[in-house]
Amino acid sequence: MIKKSAHEMSQALAGGEITSVQLTQQHLNRIASVDTDVHAFLHVDAEGALAQAASIDAARSRGEKLGPLAGIPLALKDVMTQKGIPTTAGSKMLEGWRPPYDSTVVTNLKSAGIVILGKTNMDEFAMGSSTENSAYGPTHNPWDLSRIPGGSGGGSAAALAAFEAPLAIGTDTGGSIRQPAAVTGTVGVKPTYGGVSRYGLIAFSSSLDQAGPCARTVLDTALLHEAIAGHDPRDSTSINAPVPAVVQAAKSGDVKGMKIGVVKELNGDGYQAGVRSRFEESLELLAKAGAEIVEVSCPNFEYALAAYYLIAPSECSSNLARFDAMRYGLRVGDESGASAESVMNLTRDIGFGREVKRRIILGTYALSSGYYDAYYGSAQKVRTLITQDFEKAFTHADVLVSPTCPTTAFKIGEKSNDPLAMYLNDIATIPVNMAGIGGMSLPCGLAPEDSLPVGFQIMSPAMQDQRMYLVGAALEAALLAQWGAPLLSQAPVMGGAQ
Amino acid sequence: MSSLTYDDVVAKYEPVLGLEVHVELNTHSKMFCSCSTIFGGQPNTQTCPVCLGMPGALPTVNEKAIESTILIGLALNCSIAPFSRFARKNYFYPDMPKNFQISQFDEPICVDGFVDVEIDTDEGVKKFRIEVERVHMEEDTGKSLHVGGATGRIHGADYSLLDYNRAGIPLVEIVTKIVPGTGRYAPEVARAYVAELRDILRSLGVSDVKMEQGSLRCDANVSLRIIGSDVLGTRSETKNVNSLRSVERAVRGEMIRHAERLNNGDRVVQETRHFQEDTGLTRSGRSKEQAEDYRYFPEPDLVPVAPDALWIEQLRATLPERPSIRRKRLQEQWSVPDKEMSAMVNADVLDVVEATVLLGSDPTKARSWWLGEISRVANEKEIAIAQLPITPNDVAEIVVLVNSGELTDKLARQVVEGVIAGEGTPAQVISQRGIKVVNDDVALMKAIESACAAQPETAEKVRAGHLPAAGALIGAVMKETQGQADAARVRELLLKHLGQ
């Protein structure tokens, strides 16, 4: 059962073929058997998950009306607070911290009856593209354990690819949902900014962070999207409007007459040959399904990466200031006679990893008086230009597409000492965050040269998230017809026969 | 002690003021969360993930606080910005949960207003216009209590305790433009400005404006320049100024201190100074020579504030009478001379006198109670009149009793004293203390007769026309009636009894 989609599991639960407790136990067993190799989870809450599953089973037996994902297990990125459950954001700074409150996403998951298995690994405070920056050790890509699972949400993506969970929550600041989805052969969506509440999402860069759904199929992703999305009065940047009809779109998959814009600047040089060929083939499939393929140009995307690495570090330098040992989390050097200042300094020195410190320093510098206009100010102007590029492009096309990442999964350790090479991995995903629009990555095959998954990115205008699901569902169906089985069935078998 | 006199200072230098006033709004909940704002709760009982800056928690704006701020802006003749933003002011301090304060920077909600003040001088009433640069919103910090060490300051303390109940309470900061041209009256102008602001804020009902509890705090910036110069001198910023009187003293003290330094050829250091209530002097605090870099940037967790023009007009329509206009109106209605009016304003009794008058007392009597006996006790106890347990209702009741002859002035004072002492309402004090005017002429006649019988010679003298002798008999009657008789009535009856 664990290799099925959440939608199929849901039907099995509804039909009485299996109980949620059994389904949850199967996933817990899977975690026990494969996670020593994958290391997708930082914390597994077996007891809580089984209790939640039991209560869903009880509700079902009482004949209560349940949501479409009730009783289905899920892996939660460790950047989301869950009351009483250790939440670290991949940092030593928060080791042992148990939040006193649920994030809105968790509240929504619970009310949808979704069973939370545990918390998944991530780059520290979501800063990274490989999950190597976790203070708790890297996560391994189920396709090749010597490779990265992407980041920052590598744990969530790897959990899906290793069949440890059929659903997962990620967060995406510059690609942290889509890039891991791409390199693990799974599906991930960054909704329109404000579509899903950020309340309880431990902030990296507030104006860019967005939580979103991750799964193995487009429909499952849509079902999870609807479960977590919606207006939240506790997040003032949350959109007060109905959630786009993403499930309906994912079920339809009709792209006849749709215009699909290929972004000229997000292809070509720097993109791996196998990534490009799989992308081109996907375009042909979409054309066959009735879509019209056009080329669009977004000239200012060239500056997106540079601007992102000013805005995100600036906001993070401020967001992470609260980690000062005064109220929660790590406290170092608290000996008699030590001043508050020295405790703060020591704690931040020991508690933050190298990449986090690098970004705090970058951001502090960029916001400093005398540099603000040149750095943060200019970056904001670039952001406006990128948004305008998108607006213009969307007058020519209903959705825009590109490869999700320039390459397939690289080796663990390959780019750890070259932050710029690491940052370049997000070159195609960052513009979406800068403009606050929606983006999806879904698998479009294996690159011939390394037999690793390639991601196909679909971008839709703000509050038009259903469009990427339409296109995603169409492409997924066409690819499935070609392959005969989901891409993940080609992944190496782990954990013995299941 | 200073060798310079104040006259020396103002003969040579022109003071330039800049006043920053922080006002805690009296909203029920905090600026960015729903925690209570009640003063004096047990430490850290009025906190939540938002105001404790827990990871993942987000602020949402208290609409009532925005409304109050707009009201303040309108009352101070400001323009209300159609679009304003919150900004983060970044600096590390243990009592600030997020290590940044949500404030407003280059896009405040109200700009360009003014406040007119009047002060009494030997040359008559003088008017000054204080221009307001901006009014903006921000959140308050928590409180640190430094335990051990001699000074109660962080340096030298054994340990510190943090209370976050205050963290996130809405604050409004009102900043003036530089205020030149006040000359020797700078201290009085500063005081009058803060007093006027306080009255305006109180009339709006947006704050408790209690300086002693810190719900209204003033930072006074002072610099001096040689008279005639158009170059601004170096300023100091004095904090911890907790009363109107202190505002005046702090400005005067700083003017003298600056002048002494300048006369000695020293330079004034740009710094924060702390006002010392006991000495009236200031003590050096944080140096601001190296301007602190707060790395302001727009708060990404909050959407911009864009108040609807119609809403602003609706708020404008609810503005109460301006306190200065009200004072003029009351002065006219009560026919009070300027000096008396100033005395009432300075003693801060205008509200209570008006309330007492509205309850039916005549203005002169109401004024004389509040400004006399009651103010005297408040001064003695060094507390505000509002903190005494006597109300306008009590005073109005006492005035009625005096008018009807049920209380003499002397007894009325005893009743007031009792009410102030917390013995209850005037009626309760009268019954508990057994106070009763003896206005029963029959009872008085009895006492008079017995006094005359006891002192026949004295009675004879009075009968013979030697009136001063009556004093001894009146004294005896008063003693007999335990001081509760109306002495004037006793005298009247006695003289009549003795044929005078």
Residue ranges per domain, chain A?
6-301+383-490
Say if residues B42 and B288 touch (Cβ distance below 8 Å).
no
Closest Cα of chain B to A199: distance in Å?
Answer: 6
Instruction: Say yes or no for a CB contact (<8 Å) between A321 and B300.
Output: no
Q: What is the C-alpha to C-alpha distance for residues A197 and A433, in angstroms, rounded to an integer? A: 15
Task: Specify the higher pLDDT residue, B121 or B439.
Answer: B121
B71 located within any domain? yes
- pLDDT value, residue A23: 98
Domain assignment present for residue B1? The answer is no
**Half-sphere CA count of B122, side-chain side, radius 13 A:** 2
Q: Final residue of a domain: which of B433, B467, B488? A: B433
Rounded Cα–Cα distance for residues A261 and B398 (Å): 86
CA distance A197 to B85: 21
Return d(Cα B398, Cα B405) in angstroms, integer.
11
Q: Span B399-424, mean pLDDT? A: 87
Burial of A493 (C-beta count, 10 Å sphere; 0-12/13-18/19+): exposed
B351 conformational bin, left if phi > 0, alpha if psi -120 to 50, beta if neither: alpha
Of the candidates B293, B315, B337, which is a domain's last residue? B315
CATH number of residue B463's parent domain:
1.10.10
**Is A77 annotated as catalytic?**
yes
Q: Which long-range contacts (C-beta less than 8 Å, at least 24 apart) are formed by A336-341?
A: A339/B154, A340/B94, A340/B154, A340/B160, A341/B92
Q: Which residues of B fall below an 8 Å CB-CB distance to A? A: 49, 52-61, 88, 90, 92, 94, 97-100, 154, 160, 162, 291, 293, 295-297, 300-303
> Do B254 and B392 share a domain, yes or no?
no
- DSSP readout, A232-256? -TT-TTS--SPPP-HHHHHHH---T
B277 and B399 inside one domain: no
Judging by DSSP bridges, how do beta strands A259-263 and A399-403 pair with one another?
A: parallel
Enter the tokens of residue B125: 């009433």
pLDDT grade for B131, boundaries at 50, 70 and 90: very high
Tokens representing A58? 């009880």
Distance from CA of A336 to the nearest CA of B (A): 8
Q: Specify the pLDDT at position A497.
A: 45
In this structure, what token pair is assigned to residue B266? Answer: 């020293």
**What local confidence, expressed as pLDDT, does residue B1 receive?**
46
Kind and range of the H or E run holding A184: helix A178-184
Q: Is the pLDDT of residue B438 over 80?
A: no
H or E stretch at B358: helix B350-358
Boundary-marking domain end, from B265, B286, B315: B315
Residues A123 and A132: beta-carbon distance below 8 Å:
yes
pLDDT (tens, 9 = 90+) of chain A, 498 residues, equals: 999 999 999 999 999 999 999 999 999 999 999 999 999 999 999 999 999 999 999 999 999 999 999 999 999 999 999 999 999 999 999 999 999 999 999 999 999 999 999 999 999 999 999 999 999 999 999 999 999 999 999 999 999 999 999 999 999 999 999 999 999 999 999 999 999 999 999 999 999 999 999 999 999 999 999 999 999 999 999 999 999 999 999 999 999 999 999 999 999 888 999 999 999 999 999 999 999 999 999 999 999 999 999 999 999 999 999 999 999 999 999 887 788 899 999 999 999 999 999 999 999 999 998 899 999 999 999 999 999 999 999 999 999 999 999 999 999 999 888 888 888 889 999 999 999 999 999 999 999 999 999 999 999 999 999 999 999 999 999 999 999 999 999 999 987 544
B473 token code pair: 């008999």
Chain B residues within 8 A of A381 when measuring between CB atoms: none
Ramachandran sector of residue A83 (left: φ over 0; alpha: ψ -120 to 50; beta: rest): beta
Q: Residues B373, B230: one domain?
A: no
* CA within 13 Å, CB half, A310: 21
pLDDT at A269: 85
> Under an 8 A CB cutoff, do A201 and B59 touch?
no
Q: Tally the domains of chain B.
A: 3
A198/B57 Cβ within 8 A: no
B88-115 pLDDT tens trace: 999 999 999 999 999 999 999 999 999 9
Query: What's the pLDDT score for residue A273?
Result: 96
First vs last C-alpha separation in chain B: 66
3-class secondary-structure state, position B388? coil
Answer yes or no: do B59 and A236 touch at CB < 8 A: yes
A150, A422 Cβ separation under 8 angstroms: no
In a domain, B289, yes or no: yes
pLDDT of B280 higher than 90: no
Query: How many residues make up chain A in this entry?
Result: 498
Residue B222 lies in a domain: yes
Dihedral pair phi/psi, residue B423, rounded to 5°: -85, 0
A275, A408 in Cβ contact below 8 A? Answer: yes
What is the SS3 assignment for A338? coil
Is residue B201 domain-shared with residue B225, that is, in the same domain? yes
Q: What is the DSSP pairing of strand B13-24 with strand B216-226?
A: antiparallel
Collapsing DSSP states into helix, strand and coil, what is residue B142? coil
The reported pLDDT for the residue numbered A498 is 43
Distance from C-alpha of A24 to C-alpha of A9, rounded to nearest angstrom: 11
Averaged pLDDT, B261-278: 91
B355 with B296, same domain: the answer is no
Q: Kindly state whether residues B293 and B333 are assigned to the same domain.
A: no
Give catalytic status of residue A152 as yes or no.
yes
Q: Give the number of other CB atoms < 10 A from CB of residue A185.
A: 30
Mean residue pLDDT of chain B comes to 90
Calculate how close chain A gets to B60, using CA atoms only, in Å.
6
Spatial contact of A220 and A181, defined as CB atoms under 8 Å apart: no
The CA-CA-CA angle for residues B458, B464, B469, to 5°, reads: 35
In a domain, B112, yes or no: yes
Is the overall model pTM greater than 0.80, yes or no? yes
Residue of chain B whose Cα is closest to the Cα of A205:
B300
CA distance B279 to A422: 62
| Secondary structure (3-state) at B176 | strand
Domain co-membership, B110 together with B237: yes
User: What is the span of the domain harbouring residue B115?
Assistant: 6-315
Chain A residues whose C-beta sits inside 8 Å of any chain B C-beta: 80-81, 87, 89, 94, 97, 99-101, 103, 198-203, 205-207, 233-237, 314-315, 317-318, 321-324, 326-328, 339-341, 344, 364, 367-369, 372, 376
CATH topology of domain A6-301+383-490: Amidase signature (AS) enzymes (3.90.1300)
